[in-house]
Structure formats: structure tokens, C-alpha cells
Amino acid sequence: MDAAIQERVNIWLNGNYDDQTKKNILDIQQNNPEELADAFYRNLEFGTGGLRGLMGVGTNRVNKYTIGMATQGFANYLQKTYPGTEIKIAIAHDSRNNSRFFAETTANVFAANGIKVFLFESLRPTPELSFAIRHLGCKAGVVCTASHNPKEYNGYKAYWNDGGQLVPPHDKNVIIEVEAIQSVDDVKWSGGESNITIIGKDIDDAYIDMVKGLSVYPDVIAAQKDLKIVYTPIHGTGITLVPQVLEKFGFNNVHVVEAQSTPDGNFPTVKYPNPEESETMSIGLQKATELDADILLGTDPDADRVGIGVKNHKGEWVLMNGNQTAVLAFAYMMEARKAKGIAQANDMVVSTIVTSEMINEVAKQNNVACYNVLTGFKWIAEKIKELEGKENYVIGGEESFGLMIGDQIRDKDAVSAVALMCEMAAYEKNKGKTLFDKMIELYIQYGFYYENLISITKKGMNGQKEIAEMMEGYRTNPPAQINGSDVVTLLDYQLQIGKNLLTGDTWPIQLPKSNVLQFITADGSKISARPSGTEPKIKFYFSVNTTLDNKAAFDATQTLLENRINGIITSMNLK
């Protein structure tokens, strides 16, 4: 074993770590030395969003000690930022294995550092944590979750006083403080228990009231209160709030998928607890088909992502992709607010650079300002903060099945998204239509934009290096053509430079640095390459578009666009 790795192992075997941890290390050392090397070859990185990784012993795993050291670093930064001030922090967790233990560990460390802690009594959706930070006047927040990752993962998302995840300068400064914690002996593990307050129903009620206030057409819901809704929490936190919110909105025909209703960190009915996956939504689709429902909705373990299923123009159940969901939601909020007479001249919406360009077109035709930010809802939250008092934020979202409606939360919120989607379905049903009918109408009106995404995973110690080399190759030697169409523009968000590859002209990109490359071709296709910030994978986003003349041309046009994306994937050797 590498000497540096062995040294880390020895520190854990000889240091102030519990006996069970030491026993587990010895067992792995004997039975699976490769796994031990992976568990100790580096320190689990506290990135700009916090921690995420496999659970287990080791410096490269999520466990009591890596959680505790991260929390001590975060606490140190809070105390340096707010000297002589009462510091309050809210903490929540999802349904994953060990999440409650990690949340309590986090609470104990903050409390031992003299910080006043508001800890949820049991599992809660991530968006409620964002809401609670603002509602309780906290300086920061933490939720223990690994979102939609497989059951072996857990994590730790860090939030600032606006309810959004950390952005500059706080993200980098917290990382510096976390990296300064070199030993578990630097952590204050206990002694401040009196600083912990348990919270629950009061925050639930305030949050539910806030979500109810987002409704645009309560009168339509009253007319369609028996809309047949199927909902699955996929063994996650959504069960704590989604049914109550739908009831508060006035829907009385809600069917929860029983097989997936109980919170369970083993996610026994799915391979990945991710509503983006058709396999994950298959049980819900089966129930929706049996009941002849109007809409199916599913939320991931921490209830910040939403997947929806509807009947298409042929009466077949289909799952909408994240871009379609976002376009439907954005269009509804802009069009419905205008029709209701509550739109404001300074309304604005926020999308991201890898989300459908169709949102920009919808906003343009509705005379609403649309801002495009880097991937991640922390950048949407930052844009709201930047324009607070000047422009009226209505909705934000991105292709990864996330929406953020209204400005009282500052992270993606699947609970309010479920309610909004049901209101949208009721609005269309009131006109004798479905959400799929509405999607086709939007394509005819604004242009048929079609997107796809593939992820390439590179596991193990060399994975990150391989991804870095792939990005460097694209950066230094961009393709001249993709699928037979000239690449006319290269946008490099790491170097913050846009370049016309035909003329050589360059211009600055006015966004923070991010390791993203985008190629725009002569036929209007957009290809984005972006390494994941939380997993050893690189994501490629594909967007193509054309016009749609009428509903009858939908199938043929969609096939045309699908073939164009398949051609792009083949030409870039990404299969």
C-alpha cells in the first residue's frame, strides 16, 4: 500500500476513534485491501456545496468523523464571520441510512461551539430547511442528504443566511476552515446540548401556508378538486409534507403509492431513488395506469427533485423530462400571471446555462426578463439576492428536475413543484386538455426544443484524472464539426471566454468560473460538457430545435430531433 495511504490508516487505528471503527478498518485491511486504499487515499473533499460520498470508515468516506471535522470547520468560519453575535443554525436530514445520526452529530458539534441549533424532530424535505433558515433568522443551515444518489451514499449540504447554498466568498472560505481541521482532536464533540432546540410542526405549518400562497388559480382547483393524482415519495421525505400541501391546495383525490410511501434508506423498490429514472417511476406509472389518473408525480429522498408522468396525445403514459417540466412550469407562471392580471412590469425568471433555450424564448415573447446562471440553485438564489428590491422573482429552475417558485425559499423545492404541477394539470383539464397537449401547444408557439443528457462515469482513483483529461482535450482542441455542422461558437466558462471559431473574435463571459464547455453549431445545436461536482462522472447535455407547424407533425418532428441528437452523440464518440 502507498505510504501516504498507510499513514492515514495508522492515524485512525491509533487515534481517538471508536473501537468499532478500528475493527472495521482491520477487517477491510484483511479482506479487501483495494477498498481500504480507496477509503483512505485522500480526504473526502468538502466542495462548494458540502460533502457527498460513500458511507464507511476512512478519510474518503462519509462517517461520524468526516462529518464532525467538516462541522467544526464550518463552525469556526461562522464564529469568525459573526464575532460577538448570537449565531443560529437550522439542521435537517432525509430518510437515508445514518442521516439522523449524522444530523445529531452535526447538531452536537455546532452546539458545543456555542451556536444555537434548531434541529428538526425527524426527517424533513431539503426545501423546508431552506425555508426554516429564513423563517428563524439563522446565519446558516445544514441538511444531511445525498439527494438522489444510490443507498450507499450520504452527504452534507451547507447553507448560508439567505437559505441558499454557499456561494463566493463563503464557499471557498468555509473550505479553507474545514481543511484546517487536521485531527478529530480538533473537534468539539459535545458539551453544548442545552443549545439545541427541537423544531417541527410550527415550521411545517408556516411552510405549508407559504406554498399555498403560490397558487395562481385556486378557483380552477375548486372546479377540479377531484383531479386524480398519483404521488410517490420514493421512500423519502416527501411523505411528510406533499400530501398535506395537496390537501391544503384543495385536491381531494390523491393516491399515494403505498409500496414506496414508507421512508427507508435502503430504497427497497428501486435501484436509484431518482425520479429522473423510468425504472424508479415504474411502480407509480403502473398505479396511474390502473387508476386512469390525470397526473403522476414522484419526489427524490430529500424532496427537492420532481418527476412527472402524463398521458400523451395517443393516450399512453409517458414521463416528461426535466426540460419539459421546467418549460411547462415557467410558461404557466408567466402566462397565468398575465391572464390573471397579477404580472408585474419588473417580473423576472432565472434559468441555467444547460437548461432548455426554450425558456428564454418563452420569457422573451412574454416580455419577462430571463437570466441564465451557472448550474446549481445556489446561483439562482444569488441572482435573486443581487436583484432584490429591483426586480420581482417569479420562478427559477434547471433541467435536473428542479424548480424554485417564489422567493421565500432559496433552493429547489419539489413540494411546491408538485402542487404547482397539479394546479397546471387542473387548469388544462378545465379546458378539456392535458399537460401533454399544452406541451405541444408551447412547441408550436415558441419552437420545438428537444434535449437529452448522457453521463459517463469514471470510477476509482483515476476517474477524476480521466475526466480532467477529457475536458482539457475539448478545451485545447475543440471539434471543428459536430454531426456535419460547423462548430461556430465555443463558450469556456472556466476561462470565462466566448470565442467565434470562424472569425477568432472573443468576448468575456460575465459569470463566475465553472468547468463547463459549450459548443454551438451552425444548425443551432448546443452541446455542453460538464464534470459533476458531486460524483465521478462527466455529463453531456444536448439541445436541438426546429419549428413545429401543427400537432399532426409532432411525432415526425420529434423523431427528426431525436435522430439529430443521436447523430451528435455518434460523431463525438460518446456511445
Provide the annotated active-site residues: 147
429-434, Cβ contacts within 8 angstroms, sequence gap of 24 or more: 429/224, 429/227, 429/294, 430/220, 430/223, 430/224, 434/294, 434/310, 434/311
**Surface-to-core class of residue 396, CB atoms within 10 Å of its CB (0-12 exposed, 13-18 middle, 19+ buried):** buried
Question: Residue 398's beta-bridge partner residues?
Answer: 402
C-alpha to C-alpha distance for 284 and 304, rounded to whole angstroms: 18
48: which residues sit within 8 A by CB, 6+ positions away?
A: 165, 166, 167, 171, 172, 175, 378, 533
C-alpha to C-alpha distance for 169 and 566, rounded to whole angstroms: 41
Strands (E), 86-223: 88-93, 116-120, 140-144, 153-160, 196-199
C-alpha to C-alpha distance for 158 and 171, rounded to whole angstroms: 9
Is the separation of the CB atoms in 21 and 27 below 8 Å? no
Locate 300 and state its grid cell: 427524490
C-alpha to C-alpha distance for 141 and 161, rounded to whole angstroms: 8
C-alpha to C-alpha distance for 98 and 227, rounded to whole angstroms: 37
C-alpha to C-alpha distance for 123 and 125, rounded to whole angstroms: 7
| 3 state SS of 482 | strand
| 3 state SS of 547 | coil
Is the separation of the CB atoms in 189 and 108 below 8 Å? yes
Is the separation of the CB atoms in 133 and 147 below 8 Å? no
Residue 452 one-letter amino acid: N
Residue 371 one-letter amino acid: Y
Strands 448-457 and 481-482 come out as: unpaired
52: which residues sit within 8 A by CB, 6+ positions away?
A: 62, 146, 147, 149, 153, 154, 155, 156, 534, 535
Q: Which helix (H) or strand (E) holds 440?
A: helix 435-446
Q: Which helix (H) or strand (E) holds 361?
A: helix 358-365
439: which residues sit within 8 A by CB, 6+ positions away?
A: 320, 324, 327, 328
Is the separation of the CB atoms in 119 and 91 below 8 Å? yes
277: which residues sit within 8 A by CB, 6+ positions away?
A: 270, 271
If one counts every other C-beta atom within 10 angstroms of the C-beta of residue 26, the result is: 12
